[in-house]
Amino acid sequence: MGFTAHLGAEYNAVGAFNHFFETQLTARGMPDFMPSAVVNYDYPESPLVFPSFSVTHLGSEPNEVAEGRHLDPGFKGVERIGLADIRCWESVARAGGQHGRNLRIMRDMAARVFATGAAFQLLDVYGSTAAPTGNGTIVRAGPARAGAQAREPNPDVTGARLLVEYRWLERVSGG
């Protein structure tokens, strides 16, 4: 029997965020320079292909929202606040001088996913990574903010950075 963590497990929230981002990214179509939307997660060890996106979760912090941590009848817990670092990557040589335009389009694609904030179901990634199901808990993400992008050591690689804050309730059974 597979392990299923409590409703608000961080791994479930990260998996739900990643799934939501990847499915919503191309909801308005694809630009002509991008044959497919490649999304890499958490510092991949394989080389990047261009153009592509990457999502790295920078951890989460607890936020006390209820006295005595009583959330709902039968549940205790805290609100968790996570931060996702979304990057857009392009090759200067591959883009033929259009890397700046391509990055702005990719940045807009990623920002649109969270433009007015977003709410999506927390998935039970522990139960199944192939086909996780929703468990009724909601993850709420704020609009994307521009982040500082350091100059890449490789002069052929250029990027854009967005930061997205997201929240969910980490619950456990308890009286």
Write down all domains in the chain, each with its CATH number in brackets: 10-140+155-173 (3.30.2000)
HEC sequence for 134-153? EEEEEEEECCCEECCCCCCC
Q: What is the pLDDT along the chain (175 residues), one digit of tens a residue?
A: 345 556 678 888 998 999 999 999 988 889 999 988 899 998 777 778 999 999 999 999 987 766 666 666 777 778 899 999 999 999 999 999 999 999 999 999 999 999 988 999 988 777 666 676 776 788 999 999 998 877 888 899 999 999 999 999 887 766 5
Distance separating alpha carbons of residues 102 and 135, to the nearest angstrom: 37
Distance separating alpha carbons of residues 151 and 158, to the nearest angstrom: 8
Give the global pTM: 0.87
Distance separating alpha carbons of residues 123 and 129, to the nearest angstrom: 9
Write out pLDDT tens, residues 128-143. 666 767 767 889 999 9
Write out pLDDT tens, residues 52-86. 999 999 999 987 766 666 666 777 778 899 999 99
